[in-house]
Structure 1
Amino acid sequence: MNGKLIGGGIVVIALVFGAVVYYSQEYGYYDQVAPGSEAAKISLAELDGTTLDPLDARGFEGIDADSSPLRYRACFNTDLSIATATETYEVYDKAAPLIGPNWFDCYDAKTIGADLEAGRAVAFLSQHNIRPGVDRVVALYPDGRAFVWHQLNDEAEK
């Protein structure tokens, strides 16, 4: 009888611990980014690499966390065409959207990544080293949708 009680206690503790870890990773660290806040201001790096142009971001939805610079995700709409963007701004060849939490519905990293590979979207550098070793990347679609994330760059400590 004691073995069953101890085994059951271990299982209950493991389930509670698993639930706490899941909640903290999926919900606990994230905060909504308020439209109009500094974190909601999106820019693109011009071809010269030094000039950042602000981008008109309508319908901005974003999340971020203090626990990691890689947790930033955002979605918005813009009037900037891909043709104009490719002539003016730096294309980001190594774009790899990072998976966001399931509840952040507007952002789907797998779809964005597949669209970038298929040429249905184009990624641009928003800001190099927004934090040391981390770039902000913007993916633009022909219909005006845009998605933003942070990813490690070549200068990140491996």
Structure 2
Amino acid sequence: MNGKAVGLILVFSALMTGAAVWYLQVYGYYDPIPASAPAAEVRLTSLVTGQPEKIIAAGFQGIDADSSPLRFRACFTTPLGLAVATESFKVYDAATPLNAPGWFDCFNAARIGGDLEAGRAVAFLSVADITPGIDRVVAIYPDGRAYAWHQLNETAEK
């Protein structure tokens, strides 16, 4: 075999490996969450009981992956008003939405994070330690738009 053929085989193999890794990271591990699945049930932690309570969620779109507990993302709407929510459920002060894959276009982490910082949305604790060291967080807007994600909590950071 001459050197050009070996070089072409190496370059082609590297390109194919790179394409496979990119595809698996962006598309391969994610699965849509059906609206009827238990993971699509949206809950917020009650100030009174300290337990997660189901809230009404419509138009649920969600994704998750078995490869990491941090890959959960969801978009939905809720008729729950912010005044009632802040009086009834635990506010999550350290909310930091994580980026979603570009193809899951209903979830924009930068916009949600900016709106949380500016007070245009409020984050609530959905479920503490949904997986050890990871909380589910829900951000709600005054118009009823809502977004959910998983993020590391203080026990994971120790």
TM-score range, shorter chain: over 0.9
Alpha-carbon deviation of 1:157?
5.6
**Which residue pairs with 2:93 in the alignment?**
93
Distance 2:11 2:110 in 1: 34
Distance 1:157 1:121, change over 3 A: closer
For normalisation by structure 2, the TM-score amounts to: 0.94
- Alignment match, 1:64: 64
1:79 match: 79
Counting aligned pairs with the same residue, the percent is: 59
Give CA deviations for 1:72-123 in whole Å, capped at 9, x if unaligned.
1000000111111111111111111011111111111111111111111111
Counterpart CA distance in 2 for 1:10 and 1:157 is 41
Distance (whole Å) between structure 1 residues aligned to residue 97 and residue 68 of structure 2: 15
Aligned to 1:118: 118
1:10 alignment partner in structure 2: 10
Aligned counterparts of 1:105 and 1:146: Cα–Cα separation in 2: 14
Q: Distance in 1 between matches of 2:93 and 2:69?
A: 21
Partners in 1 of 2:114 and 2:15 — Cα distance?
35
SS at match of 1:12: helix
- Matched letter for residue 34 of structure 1: P
Structure 2 gaps of 5+ residues are: none
* Distance in 1 separating the partners of 2:62 and 2:33: 5
* Cα distance in 2 between the residues matched to 1:51 and 1:153: 17
Unaligned runs of 5+ in 1: none
